[in-house]
Amino acid sequence: MTDLETRTAGRPGALRRAAPALLGYAAVRALGLLALALWSAARDTSAYTLLTARWDSLWYTRVAELGYGYEVRLPNGDVHSNLAFFPLLPWLERLGAAAGPWSHADAGFVVSLLASLAAAWGIFAVAEHVYDRRAGVCAVLLWAVLPVGIVQSMAYSESLFTALAAWSLYAVLTGRWVTAGSLAALAGLTRPVGLAVAAAVWVAAITAFVRSRSEAVTDGALDPARAPGDGVRRALGMLLAPLGAAGYVLWVGHRTGQGPLGYLDVQAGWRNGFDGGVAFARFVAGKFTSFPSAPAGVALIVGVALLVLLYVVCVRQRQPVPLLVYAGIVTVLALCTSSYFGSKPRLLLPAFPLLLPLARPLARLRTSRSALVVGGVAVASAEYGAFWLNGSGPP
């Protein structure tokens, strides 16, 4: 282990330090679920069905139950294939259903609940490492009260992916290269954007290598106690990081007979693809064709501007390069793909480093004031989540 690893691994009471963040996160999520239950009951709908058996969660459970190969052909010729959905969540659903007397959907719900807690802990660990404990708690609470935070409790892959990404980034920041690469590989088996985690590992490893070579030139020799082992661990972490996403994409290409780019054909059947934001820009512009929808267009422009501003602040505050790379790629992919536009807010959920500039000033407030701010936003978020899932909801 490096000196950094030894110092970090030896810090006592990791769970105790994270407890306020985890308890606060659980309280916010419980409030969101309560609001959803009450709203759904008033509409005579099932809150649990909304969480486990609607939209993408149905596709995940079909993969868990039947495997890959299911597809739907639409009247316009589009083909929706379940090969678009990465396999880690369905694997866990299948494992959970085999381990107890519950359905695959039930297992998916449990996985998401546990993964959301793991994600909250990972976000706390990253923010505490970069700033301090209070900033870590505030970062977690801000992630919990996001308007689409209810997705964190759904049988979707966002919570699982965020947990793997956060802990991989924490492993990078603390010099645990093999752990970082392994978690990045698992993140790559969860969502296509797992490549953002792999990119963060690669950039951090290359930066560390360049720094070590620079120190060797300056000092005349590398530290023999750490250089050889560090190099091997970094190389192994880099090797492992992209295996999950690359392996699944190549497998899909082989299965479809379309070669290495076969997964892109599968996504095209869903009308998903990277277009540099052209489709999103047209969608926003379309809001200004009539007065009733113009305010929505203004809100979308303001929202994108705020995202860009937050990223600029992250850069100016000199966040660690791996966080900047990861958050940048996640944000670009969320905004610049031609996917269903209502899904973009939930696609941004894993970009938690963008919340750190907000967490720092919140952490400087008195506890009573910060609790009042977070509590008010939590109530609004819970109400919006209940309204959203009982309406259009995530695709």
Average pLDDT over residues 18-34: 97
- Is 225's pLDDT higher than 60? no
Q: Write down the domain spans for the chain.
A: 22-272+367-389
Report which residue type is found at 278.
Answer: V
Indicate the length of the chain as a whole number: 395
How far, in Å, CA of 257 to CA of 372, rounded? 56
Mean pLDDT over all residues of the chain? Answer: 91
The verdict on pTM exceeding 0.85 is yes
- Is 6's pLDDT higher than 70? no
Is 120 within 8 Å of 355 (Cβ atoms)? no
310 pLDDT tier (thresholds 50, 70, 90): very high
**Residue 234 host element (H or E):** helix 227-240
Per-residue pLDDT tens for 351-388?
999 999 999 999 999 999 999 999 999 999 999 999 99
> What is 73-98 written as a DSSP string?
E-TTS-EEEGGGS-SHHHHHHHHHHH
Q: What pLDDT, on a 0 to 100 scale, did the predictor assign at position 220?
A: 53
Q: What pLDDT, on a 0 to 100 scale, did the predictor assign at position 141?
A: 98
- Is 2's pLDDT higher than 50? no
